[in-house]
Amino acid sequence: MVTRLVLVLGDQLSPNLSALQKADKDSDIVVMAEVADEASYVPHHPKKIAFIFAAMRKFADALRNNGWQVDYTKLDDPENAGSVTGELLRRAEQHDASGVIATEPGEWRLIEALQEMPLKLHMIADTRFIASHKEFEDWAEGRKELRMEWFYRDMRRKTGLLMDGDKPVEGKWNFDHDNRKPAPDDVDFNGPMQFTPDDTVEEVLDLVEQRFGDNFGTLRPFWFATDTGQARRQLTHWVKHALPKFGDFQDAMLNDNRFLYHSIISFYINAGLLDPLEVCEQVEQAYKDGHAPINAAEGFIRQIIGWREYMRGIYFLEGPDYTSRNVLKHDRALPSFFWDANTKMNCVSKTVAQTRDESYAHHIQRLMVTGNFALLAGIDPHEVHEWYLAVYADAYEWVEAPNVIGMSQFADGGIVGSKPYVSSGAYIDRMSDYCKHCNYKVKDKTGPDACPFNLLYWDFLIRHRERFSNNPRMGNMYRTWDRMDESRKEAVLSDARVVLKRLDAGESI
């Protein structure tokens, strides 16, 4: 019988993976490997590496219990070839294998490496997504603007989620308008379910501590789910206790609460432990049962079948050069406080510290705090991209890059967003209580105590006036500036220059 190798990557931990479906349990061999190349192409957060390795080890055991032969290479195995392709070549020689079956990886880097490998490769589509590449390309074809909302409606029609025949339930596609409430005083949800590490996880934690202990990020306490059973329990716990309020407070931030009503399932969906459609069906059922209101259920389902699918579509449509786009020509170095949280800006310091501890920050922290700051300050988007890719446990390039290069940094020139997501301190003040605990004063528009977001906001708009002043969604901002008296404008821009100079000098602000 001819033996083929079946590659299963660390974010392909799904029993229904297309490569496994194409393979033959009796003759083919599953190859899984913890390799240095993947663990170190950016300095990943130790929690992220530990999560992936632990989940891989458990998935390999589950496959073996299910009758598969699995060749698993641990990171510290002396034979470890150090790369995915190196491991495939080694195993191919060992078994005299005729070729490799692989589900398409989520990064151009790996797709290209597999294609260049001197082995017969059968690369098949990743069917764990709702839209195929072809469907997204067909949708994008001939459109002047690739707005998520239109794509999302097609995904609602395709899946039938929250549909009443061919109409959206309750008569509206999008309830985002109801989902912008500021942070509540009391959050009656204690965050994600936390799991005590078992022996497999402990062994991985020791390995990661030893090999990646110097990377940015706190490894212990480690609380992530590492198999599908645990991930499902976490999802069910969240649906029961937090989903009803998810919509209302989706954009809120709190100084002393890291998770609010967020689901904390992106790690699990992206690695393959949870199936996106099943997750949405569970949420839809909660709505049908009267447990969750429409703004919560629709808001959540839109994130998954809308934003998540759309981001993937953009990544593959735009091609491998997407991560080097930089239309605003931003070239400032990433400030050191992105790595040590040592800044007087409370919102940034809290978000970075939480990222260090949990390998998690929620959407608005990523977009309107760290992302907003990086964009306003003109940080090189590639450096920003590498930071996000390294520090978040849910970060894989197919989803991280369109969120960072596109949505957050506008480096793609407006493919993902019709305008840059920039704001002064007023937005952060409205949506959080960070400013109450800050050294800066959010109400000060100039002067030594002025919130740096207030200063850099105008500096950004003026630097890029030519590009943005004709944008219909930004006209108001420029009109406000034009109405300011000249001495105030001068003071704002000169104070902004001081902040930027300090950043250039490597000082913390």
Ligand X SMILES: Cc1cc2nc3c(=O)[nH]c(=O)nc-3n(C[C@H](O)[C@H](O)[C@H](O)COP(=O)(O)OP(=O)(O)OC[C@H]3O[C@@H](n4cnc5c(N)ncnc54)[C@H](O)[C@@H]3O)c2cc1C
Binding stretches for ligand SF4 (CB under 6 A): 345-347, 425, 428-429, 434-435, 438, 440, 442, 451-453
List C-alpha distances in Å: 443 to 115, 253, 254, 431, 450.
55, 19, 19, 15, 7
Q: Considering beta carbons, is residue 23 or 243 the nearer one to ligand X? A: 243
Residue 35 lies near ligand X (rule: CB under 6 A): no
Binding string, residues 432-471; x marks residues near ligand X by CB under 6 A = ----------------------------------------
Least distance from ligand X to the Cβ atom of residue 361, Å: 7
* Cα dihedral: 239, 242, 246, 252 (round 10): -150
400 contact choice in ligand SF4, ligand X, none (CB below 5 to 8 Å, kind-dependent): ligand X
Residue with tokens 């019988």: 1
Closer residue to ligand X in complex, CB, 215/446: 215
Residues 135-174 that bind ligand X (CB under 6 A): none
Contacts for 71 with CB less than 8 Å, ≥ 6 apart: 29, 30, 31, 32, 91, 94
Stretch that binds ligand X, among 129-137, 179-187, 323-331, 393-401 (CB under 6 A): 393-401
**254, 255, 257, 261: CA torsion to nearest 10:** 10
Comparing CA positions, the residue from 396, 404, 412, 405 lying closest to residue 104 is 396
Closest separation in Å from C-beta 106 to ligand X: 10
Q: How many CB atoms lie within 10 A of CB 448?
A: 9
Closer by beta carbon to ligand X, 250 or else 424: 250
Instruction: Give which of 155, 90, 146, 78 is closest to 117, Cα–Cα.
Output: 90
Q: Is 320 exposed, middle or buried (CB count within 10 Å of its CB: 0-12, 13-18, 19+)?
A: middle
Q: Give, rounded to a whole angstrom, the gap between the first and last alpha carbons of the chain.
A: 66
* Number of residues this chain uses to bind ligand X (CB under 6 A): 28
Nearer to ligand SF4 by Cβ, of 152 and 434: the residue is: 434
Question: Binding string, 259-288, against ligand X, x = CB under 6 A?
Answer: ---xxxxx--xx------------------
Judged by CB under 6 A, which of 307, 316, 440, 460 binds ligand X?
307
Structure-block tokens of residue 170? 């309750």
User: At closest approach, how far in Å is the CB of 348 from ligand SF4?
Assistant: 7
Nearest CB to ligand X, comparing residues 388 and 434: 388
Report the distance separating Cα 242 and Cα 236, nearest Å: 10
Vertex 306: Cα angle to 230 and 146 (nearest 5): 150
- Which partner, ligand X, ligand SF4, none, binds residue 388 by CB below 5 to 8 Å per kind? ligand X
Q: Which is nearer to ligand X, 29 or 271 (CB)?
A: 271
According to CB under 6 A, which residues from 355 to 384 bind ligand X?
Answer: 362-363, 366-367, 371
* Closer Cβ to ligand SF4, 104 or 495, answer by number: 495
Three-state DSSP at 20 gives helix
Is position 395 an interface residue for ligand X (rule: CB under 6 A)?
Answer: yes
Q: Return the number of the residue (68 or 222) whose C-beta is nearest ligand X.
A: 222
Selected binder of ligand X within 18, 215, 323, 408 (CB under 6 A): 408
Shortest approach of ligand X to residue 62 CB, angstroms? 23
Min dist CB 113 to ligand X, Å, is: 21
CB 337 → ligand SF4: shortest distance, Å? 12
Distance of CA 416 to the CA centre of its chain: 15
* Angle, CA of 106, 110 and 111, to the nearest 5°: 75
Structure tokens at 126: 């990743």
3-state secondary structure of 151: helix
**Residue 38 binds ligand X, judged by CB under 6 A:** no
Rounded (5°) CA angle 123-268-30: 40
**Applying CB under 6 A, does 296 fall inside the site for ligand X?**
no
Residue pair 359/192 in contact by the 8 Å Cβ criterion:
no
**Residue 334 near residue 385 (C-beta atoms within 8 A):** no
DSSP code at position 73: E
Distance CA 318, CA 406 (A): 11
268 binds, among ligand X, ligand SF4, none (CB under 5 to 8 A by kind): none
Q: Quick one: what does residue 386 bind among ligand X, ligand SF4, none, with the CB cut-off 5 to 8 Å set by partner type?
A: none
Least distance between ligand X and beta carbon 57 (Å): 22
Which residues bind to ligand X, rule: CB under 6 A?
A: 262-266, 269-270, 300, 303-304, 307-308, 311, 362-363, 366-367, 371, 388, 392, 394-395, 399-400, 403-404, 407-408
